[in-house]
Chains A and B, each alone.
Chain A
Amino acid sequence: MGPVTRRDLFLGAARSAGLLLLGGTACDAERPKAGALGLMERFNERLERALFDPTRLAPELPASAQTDPEQFPAYKIGPDYPEAPAGWGLRVGGLVKRPLLLSLEDLRRLPRTRTRVRHHCVEGWSAVAAWDGVRLSEVARLAGAAPQARYVEFRSFEPGYFSSWDVESALHPQTILAYGMNGDDLAMEYGAPLRLYSAVKLGYKMVKYLAEVNFLPVRTGGYWEDQGYEWFAGV
């Protein structure tokens, strides 16, 4: 081997810098969907979907387990809680035989389901409330959702607020379009007039201020998911 030249030193330094950069992008918590972390999220998702049992119910809890309503957090993504547009109705579309536009009265006339389960927030807290509404599976049946619709997208009338779900979780018997909470009408802080509620997902997947439900052949992202939170987020 000859003496070390300036060129060698330069190439060595460049190689080290490149490796560092590669290592950085491969495992960069600022961008968790990219590189090795993104790869692991997709690996975990496959396992989570295999683990998910569409017939397994979360335990329904007694009224005594209910969290003091004052203590149940209400989050908003903008500076204010959004107000429903005049003449609000829920649009059900995508891969369906019969696109629907459902008013709150229409939804209330459909079979009513109450679910009182533990709510798991990505932040690490849990709380319990009773939610009244109609199963999404019921709405999917009414609209005639096609079997090719492997994903369901929920869109809010609040701009940019949406989430997409795997169809199995969306059609779970404890996934409902909720218009009531703890026996009252849904309050604005919790997503009035209509929000998604489910026992099988983390809280951030449950879109509030619903405007649209779309049955889709592909997944879209979501407000929280596109920022870096896990897409599947099942519990």
Chain B
Amino acid sequence: MPRRAQPWPIRLTHWVNLVALGVMAGSGLQILVAYPFLGARGAPYRWYPLQGVAPPAFLALGGWLAGARHLHFAVAWLFAANALGYAAYLAASGEWRRRLFSPRRDARHAWQTLLHELRLRREPPPPAGLYNGLQRLTYSAVVLLAPLSVLSGLALWKPVQLPRLTALLGGWDAARAVHLLVLAALAAFAVVHLIQVARHPRTLVDMTAGGPDRPEGAPWGR
């Protein structure tokens, strides 16, 4: 059955996520300003290169610690509900098949695409469906980061009431490091994502307007 490149539930959750994640990141950085160290008092993590370096003010949202915490704990629900809606749609519609990474199908294609993108391989990879293997790998990794950000956030919020979750993450300070590293990974993804959208503006149009109906699995944008 032909289907639009970006069905409306995907577009809706994508743009809601942009707003929610933006507020979560900005308010999270404002919270970090209050104590820009990782590791417990007297036991800072040696591996963290930015000990004592506060995030820049223009990235922070909420103005002050209590304001940022209120923003963070309010918008967290929007972020989580939106993510759940997205996951439910992906599962129910079967969209996950053409979006998520399957090693057997996509590993080789992801590798070829990566080499081609890095100019290490002249020959382009064979035409793929909606997404190429590398996109599927990247998007799947990002989708896995969402539950990690929520779980580490819950451990930070309720370390005593959720002891098993906190222990699973290695304790409260480790959960805080995980929470920040997830943000760093998402930020790195966002940079590459924006570069790729600038290189292929058509994808932005489709993510907004839905794009043309196209048979399942047809090669992308040609």
Residues of A within 8 A of B (CB): 27, 29-30, 32, 36-38, 40-41, 44, 48, 51-53, 56, 58-59, 67-68, 70-73, 118, 120-128, 199-200, 227-230, 234-235
B159-179 Cβ-contact flags toward A at 8 Å (1 or 0): 111010000000011001000
Residue pair A67, B41 in contact (C-beta under 8 Å): yes
4 other A-B residue contacts (CB within 8 Å) besides A27-B74, A40-B77? A29-B61, A32-B66, A58-B160, A127-B41
Smallest CB separation, A224 vs chain B (Å) = 8
Is there a chain A Cβ closer than 8 Å to B188's Cβ? Answer: no
Interface residues of B in 50-74 (CB under 8 A from A): 61-71, 73-74
Instruction: Using CB atoms, name the residue of chain B closest to A52.
Output: B161
Q: What B residues does A120 contact at CB under 8 A?
A: 159, 172
Residue pair A123, B42 in contact (C-beta under 8 Å): no
Residue pair B35, A127 in contact (C-beta under 8 Å): no
Residues of B within 8 A of A (CB): 31-32, 34-35, 37, 40-43, 61-71, 73-74, 77, 157-161, 163, 172-173, 176
Residue pair A126, B173 in contact (C-beta under 8 Å): yes
Summarize A's interface: helix, strand, loop or mixed: loop
Report Cα–Cα, A135/B37, bound state, in Å: 33
Report Cα–Cα, A170/B69, bound state, in Å: 23
Q: What B residues does A51 contact at CB under 8 A?
A: 158, 161
Report Cα–Cα, A53/B81, bound state, in Å: 25
Residue pair B172, A127 in contact (C-beta under 8 Å): no
Residue pair A118, B172 in contact (C-beta under 8 Å): yes
Residue pair B161, A125 in contact (C-beta under 8 Å): no
Residue pair B42, A71 in contact (C-beta under 8 Å): yes
Residue pair A235, B158 in contact (C-beta under 8 Å): yes
Residue pair B161, A127 in contact (C-beta under 8 Å): no
Q: What A residues does B61 contact at CB under 8 A?
A: 29
Instruction: Using CB atoms, name the residue of chain B closest to A53.
Output: B161
Instruction: Using CB atoms, name the residue of chain A closest to B63.
Output: A29
Residue pair B66, A200 in contact (C-beta under 8 Å): no
User: Of B32, B37, B69, which is within 8 A of A122 by CB?
Assistant: B69
Quick one: given A40-B70, A71-B41, are A123 and B161 in contact (CB under 8 Å)?
no
User: Of A29, A72, A73, which is within 8 A of B62 by CB?
Assistant: A29
Residue pair A235, B63 in contact (C-beta under 8 Å): no
Report Cα–Cα, A27/B61, bound state, in Å: 12
Quick one: given A37-B71, A234-B158, A235-B160, are A124 and B32 in contact (CB under 8 Å)?
yes
Residue pair A125, B40 in contact (C-beta under 8 Å): yes
Residue pair A30, B67 in contact (C-beta under 8 Å): yes
Smallest CB separation, B61 vs chain A (Å) = 8
User: Of A32, A40, A118, A199, which is within 8 A of B67 by CB?
Assistant: A32
Residue pair A41, B159 in contact (C-beta under 8 Å): no
Smallest CB separation, A205 vs chain B (Å) = 13
Report Cα–Cα, A235/B71, bound state, in Å: 18
Smallest CB separation, A122 vs chain B (Å) = 7
